[in-house]
């Protein structure tokens, strides 16, 4: 299981920014990427603009996980593709992001990632899927009537997602310790590293044992 949510959320929030209430944005008042409509659904009551302005990263984190990350099954997707699908879901809705991915995979576009979609994902190169998903996303965005207003920002965002997601494919999952390294030939534990200091200590111990054995046999 890939645990990349915190890393992906931090990147999403860089694009989302703080409080805005742009008249051309159909989402209305928004803070940290959470619209007043989304917050109303989360609260189970009509949210106010003051509620939106007061949001913190701690407040929005469970919203992002429940409504977007879990919706695209981020914990089950390959590293990199999880972020690309997550960011797409945040920007344009989980169903659209999933259907776009399913179209690329040539599976039924039902807007949910089930066993067949997961099987198709595993059969593809993550880098290829990320590239094709970002290209399909840009095609969708360019067709929107608001592209003239927000197009430059959206293009920068998708370009950034493509770059960061591609880097995630080659990097260890976020759940791995920072000093993780692939196992070397002959090691028994994944990620074990040969420490120069440890090698010296082992050599000294072996030398001492050898010396003791020599004295006993004299």
Question: Mind listing the domains of the chain with CATH numbers?
Answer: 5-170 (1.20.141.10)
Predicted TM-score (pTM) of this structure = 0.74
Write the pLDDT tens digit of every residue in 32-72: 999 999 999 999 999 999 999 999 999 999 999 999 999 99
Read off the pLDDT of each residue in 167-187 and give the average, rounded to a whole number.
51
30 membership: H or E segment, kind and range: strand 30-31
Q: Which residues, at least 6 apart from 113, have a Cβ–Cβ distance to it below 8 Å? A: 72, 73, 76, 98, 101, 121
Nearest Cα to 31, choosing from 6, 43, 46, 49?
49
């Amino acid at each position: 299981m890939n645990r990349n949510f915190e890393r992906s959320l931090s990147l999403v929030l860089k694009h989302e920014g703080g409080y805005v209430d742009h008249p051309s944005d159909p989402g209305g008042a928004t803070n940290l990427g959470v619209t007043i409509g989304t917050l109303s659904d989360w609260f189970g009551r009509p949210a106010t603009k003051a509620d939106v302005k007061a949001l913190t990263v701690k407040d929005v984190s469970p919203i992002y996980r429940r409504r977007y990350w879990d919706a695209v099954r981020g914990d089950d997707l390959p590293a990199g593709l999880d972020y690309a699908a997550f960011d797409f879901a945040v920007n344009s809705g989980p169903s659209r992001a999933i259907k776009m991915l399913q179209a690329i995979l040539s599976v039924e576009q039902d807007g949910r990632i089930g066993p067949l979609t997961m099987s198709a994902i595993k059969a593809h190169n993550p880098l290829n899927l990320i590239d094709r998903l970002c290209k399909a996303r840009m095609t969708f965005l360019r067709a929107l009537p608001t592209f003239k207003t927000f197009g430059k920002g959206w293009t920068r965002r998708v370009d950034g997602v493509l770059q960061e997601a591609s880097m995630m494919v080659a990097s260890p999952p976020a759940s791995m310790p920072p000093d993780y390294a692939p196992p070397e030939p002959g090691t028994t534990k994944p990620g074990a590293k040969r420490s120069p200091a440890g090698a010296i200590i082992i050599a000294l111990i072996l030398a001492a044992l050898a010396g003791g054995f020599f004295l006993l046999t004299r």
